[in-house]
Structure 1
Amino acid sequence: MSDSSGPDGNNPQWVAPPHPDWLTQLNREGSYFDLPAVVPLDAESLLSRAQASTGLTDFGDELWREPFAVLLKSLQDEAQLTLMGRLMARSDIILWLSGRLQVVDTLKRHPEILQQELAAPMVIVGLPRSGTSILFELLSRDPEVGVPQMWEALMPCPPPVAATYTTDPRIERADQLFTQWNRVAPEFASMHEMRGDIPAECGLLMAGTFISDHIQSLHQTPSYSVWCAQADYEPVYRYHRDILKILQWKNPRQRWLLKAPEHQIHLQTLLAVYPDARVVQTHRDPLKCMASTTSLMGTLYSMRSDQPFNAEMFEHMIMGEATAQRLETVIDQRDAGIVPAANIADSRYQDLMQDPMACIEGIYHHFGMSLSSEARTRMLDYLASKPKGKFGQHQYQVDAGRATERALFKRYQELYQVPDEV
Structure 2
Amino acid sequence: MAEEKGTASFAASEEALHAEASEIAGYDDFGDPSYLEGLRALLAALDEAKNLSDLGRMILRRQITTSLATRLRCEQRLKEHPEVVDLPVERPIFITGLVRTGSTALHYLMGRDPGMQVLEYWLSAEPQPRPPVSEWADHPDYKAAAANLDFLYNTTPDLMAVHEMKAEWPEECGHILAQSFTDDRFECSASLPGYCEWYHHTPHPGAYRRHRQMIQLVGSTSPDMRWLIKYPVHLRQLPALFDAYPDACIVQTHRDPRTVLASYTSFLARIRRMHEVEVDEALIAREQLESWGVAADDGVAWRKEHGDGQFYDLHFADFMADPVGSVKRIYAHFDQTLSAEGETALRAWEAEHPQGKHGGHRYQHRDFGVSEAQILDRFEGYLDYFDMRPDAAG
TM-score in terms of structure 1 length: 0.83
Alignment of 1:254-269 (within 5 A): 254-269=225-240
Match among 376, 380, 404 for residue 373 of structure 2 = 404
The amino acid across from 1:87 in the alignment is M
Match among 366, 373, 380 for residue 333 of structure 2 = 366
Residue aligned with 2:365, SS? coil
Contact kept, 8 Å, 1:126 with 1:283, in 2: the verdict is: yes
Identify if the C-alpha distance between structure 1 residues 230 and 287 changes in structure 2 by more than 3 Å, giving closer, same or farther: same
Identify if the C-alpha distance between structure 1 residues 332 and 46 changes in structure 2 by more than 3 Å, giving closer, same or farther: closer
Matched residue, 1:15: none
Residue aligned with 1:395, SS? coil
CA shift, 1:261, in A, is 0.9
CA shift, 1:59, in A, is 0.8
Superposed CA RMSD in Å reads: 2.7
The amino acid across from 2:29 in the alignment is D
Unaligned runs of 5+ in 1: 1-32
- Alpha-carbon distance in 1 for matches of 2:12, 2:67: 14
Unaligned runs of 5+ in 2: none
Matched residue, 1:176: 147
Q: Is residue 130 of structure 2 the alignment partner of residue 160 of structure 1?
A: yes
Residue aligned with 2:203, SS? coil
Residue aligned with 1:35, SS? coil
Match among 36, 41, 58 for residue 70 of structure 1 = 41
- Alpha-carbon distance in 1 for matches of 2:188, 2:378: 25
Matched residue, 1:356: 323
- Alpha-carbon distance in 2 for matches of 1:177, 1:79: 28
Matched residue, 2:300: 331
CA shift, 1:292, in A, is 0.5
Matched residue, 1:289: 260
Identify if the C-alpha distance between structure 1 residues 215 and 246 changes in structure 2 by more than 3 Å, giving closer, same or farther: farther
CA shift, 1:369, in A, is 2.3
Identify if the C-alpha distance between structure 1 residues 161 and 399 changes in structure 2 by more than 3 Å, giving closer, same or farther: same
Contact kept, 8 Å, 1:146 with 1:254, in 2: the verdict is: yes
- Alpha-carbon distance in 2 for matches of 1:411, 1:43: 41
Q: Is residue 314 of structure 2 the alignment partner of residue 347 of structure 1?
A: yes
Matched residue, 1:224: 195
CA shift, 1:323, in A, is 4.5
Identify if the C-alpha distance between structure 1 residues 358 and 254 changes in structure 2 by more than 3 Å, giving closer, same or farther: same
Match among 382, 385, 390 for residue 349 of structure 2 = 382
- Alpha-carbon distance in 1 for matches of 2:341, 2:226: 16
Please give the per-residue CA displacement for 1:131-150, whole angstroms capped at 9, x wherever unaligned: 11111111111112111122
CA shift, 1:331, in A, is 3.2
- Alpha-carbon distance in 1 for matches of 2:267, 2:216: 31
- Alpha-carbon distance in 2 for matches of 1:39, 1:341: 43
CA shift, 1:310, in A, is 6.5
- Alpha-carbon distance in 2 for matches of 1:148, 1:420: 34
CA shift, 1:413, in A, is 4.1
CA shift, 1:315, in A, is 5.1
* More divergent stretch after superposition (172-181 vs 120-129): 172-181
CA shift, 1:415, in A, is 5.1
Contact kept, 8 Å, 2:261 with 2:288, in 1: the verdict is: yes
- Alpha-carbon distance in 1 for matches of 2:14, 2:332: 50
* More divergent stretch after superposition (309-318 vs 273-282): 309-318
Matched residue, 2:168: 197
CA shift, 1:300, in A, is 1.1
Q: Is residue 174 of structure 2 the alignment partner of residue 207 of structure 1?
A: no
CA shift, 1:204, in A, is 1.7
Matched residue, 2:52: 81
Residue aligned with 1:209, SS? coil
- How many residue pairs get aligned? The number is 385
- Alpha-carbon distance in 2 for matches of 1:145, 1:168: 23
Residue aligned with 1:123, SS? strand
Contact kept, 8 Å, 2:116 with 2:226, in 1: the verdict is: yes
TM-score in terms of structure 2 length: 0.88
- Alpha-carbon distance in 2 for matches of 1:410, 1:109: 50
